[in-house]
């Protein structure tokens, strides 16, 4: 029998792996042949990749039903990260291909990043930095500087990352409130935070709104014009989850019109930012879909993906299957 093939697909625009796939090869060893291919979309998939027994795919490289239809021998598609909205999981299920993710690798980093964005907004770190570097000392942003213990930190989605963020926010003195319709009763008591039963109720209370839910049909544009109108004009919004949870045109307009006080967006719909007007939106802090990123998190993520891919080519049970295929 020929040696199994594990194909790593990285994104041409912003490759995240190393050309030698060092970490993956350390895990997989001689059990399979490992290749790495740079693609912009799944139209770029080569015949070699389409013949792989398992695929590891990085974020921002979409794998649609059309691309999945060309996979000949694939048992598992492993998304190098938490989110799997870039993979057509239904199409994979129809072809008997498991889709797996790595749900826990960046929990600490993303929670830390969400808090960093919230703190930068509440304490106006970037405007103060700009003022100081212009040799000024007028503290023009005084009306936006807030005492954390007087503020409500609202969280949408109290999963792993949402919980980690809630605990950090609570430690900083925020009153923490969350909305998550899928959690059992008592979760609020276990974590020591307040629960609300509707998104509208959360929006009305939040001084900082932090998003920690997956992107799916239910959550796409969960925050759009109507929802932004329910926030206080003094509120800040933070997104370290998925860009399209917030409608981009709506949040950019809200910033320009002063209907919210600021936004910290690590992810943004149709990322990266596309125009000078988007980039110049007032009181916007944008980071490069980097909340997950640290030396340690990338090693953990890649090691887990490689372990799942190895199990796939060896016929062993798979971890973190998200589309019900075993």
Query: What's the token pair of residue 218?
Result: 């239910």
| Residue 208 backbone phi and psi in degrees, to 5 | -125, 125
* Residue 79 confidence class, pLDDT cut points 50, 70, 90: very high
Give dist(CA 42, CA 44) in Å, integer. Answer: 5
Query: Does domain 107-286 correspond to CATH entry 3.40.190.80?
Result: no
* Residues counted in the chain: 326
Q: Which two tokens stand for residue 128?
A: 């103060």
- The reported pLDDT for the residue numbered 136 is 83
CB 155 within 8 A of CB 176: yes
pLDDT-above-70 percentage for the chain:
100
pLDDT of residue 75 exceeding 80, the answer is yes
Residue 22 pLDDT grade (very low, low, confident, very high; cuts 50, 70, 90): very high
pTM to 2 decimal places: 0.87
The answer, yes or no, to whether residue 1 has pLDDT greater than 70, is no
Q: What is the average per-residue pLDDT within 75-82? A: 95
CB 28 within 8 A of CB 22: no
As annotated, the active-site residues are 242, 271, 289
pLDDT higher than threshold 90 for residue 2:
no
**CA dist list (Å): 167 to 193, 239, 269, 302:** 9, 17, 27, 27
pLDDT at residue 59, as a whole number: 81
Which part of the chain is CATH 3.40.50.720? 5-105+294-314, 107-286
- For 154-196, the pLDDT digits (tens) are 999 999 999 999 999 999 999 999 999 999 999 999 999 999 9
Residues 6+ apart with CB under 8 A from 310: 6, 27, 28, 31, 32, 316
In whole angstroms, give the CA distance from residue 298 to residue 66. Answer: 29
Q: What are phi and psi of 303, to 5 degrees?
A: -65, -40
For residue 27, give the nearest of 314, 292, 294 by alpha carbon: 314
Find tokens 């959360």 and name the residue.
202
Classify residue 88 as exposed, middle or buried by CB count within 10 Å of its CB (0-12, 13-18, 19+): buried
Identify the CATH class of 5-105+294-314: alpha beta
Three-state SS at 7: strand
């Amino acid at each position: 029998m020929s040696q199994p093939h594990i194909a790593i697909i990285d994104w041409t625009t912003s490759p995240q792996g190393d050309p030698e796939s060092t970490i993956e090869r350390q895990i997989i060893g001689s059990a399979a042949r490992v290749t790495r291919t740079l693609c912009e979309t799944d139209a770029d998939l080569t015949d070699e990749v389409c013949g792989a027994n398992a695929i590891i795919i990085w974020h921002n490289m979409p794998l649609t039903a059309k691309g999945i239809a060309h996979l000949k021998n694939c048992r598992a598609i492993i998304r190098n990260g938490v989110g799997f909205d870039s993979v057509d999981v239904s199409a994979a299920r129809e072809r008997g291909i498991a889709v797996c993710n790595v749900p826990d690798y960046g929990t600490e980093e993303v929670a830390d990043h969400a808090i960093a964005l919230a703190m930068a907004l509440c304490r106006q770190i970037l405007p103060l930095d700009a003022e100081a570097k212009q040799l000024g000392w007028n503290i023009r942003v005084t009306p936006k500087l807030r005492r954390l213990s007087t503020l409500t930190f609202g969280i949408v989605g109290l999963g792993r990352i949402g919980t980690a963020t809630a605990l950090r926010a609570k430690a900083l003195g925020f009153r923490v409130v969350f909305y998550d319709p899928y959690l059992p009763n008592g979760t609020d008591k276990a974590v020591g935070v307040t629960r609300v039963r509707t998104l509208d109720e959360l929006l009305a209370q939040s001084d900082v709104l932090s998003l920690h839910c997956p992107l799916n049909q239910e959550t796409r544009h969960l925050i759009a014009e109507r929802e932004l109108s329910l926030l206080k004009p003094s509120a800040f919004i933070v997104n370290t989850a998925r860009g399209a949870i917030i409608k981009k045109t709506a949040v950019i307009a809200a910033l320009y019109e002063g209907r919210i006080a600021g936004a910290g967006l690590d992810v943004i719909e149709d990322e990266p930012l596309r125009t000078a007007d988007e980039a110049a939106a007032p009181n916007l802090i944008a980071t490069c879909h980097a909340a997950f990123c640290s030396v340690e998190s990338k090693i953990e993520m890649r090691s887990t993906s490689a372990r799942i891919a190895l199990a796939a080519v060896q016929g062993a049970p798979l971890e973190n299957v998200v589309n019900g295929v075993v």
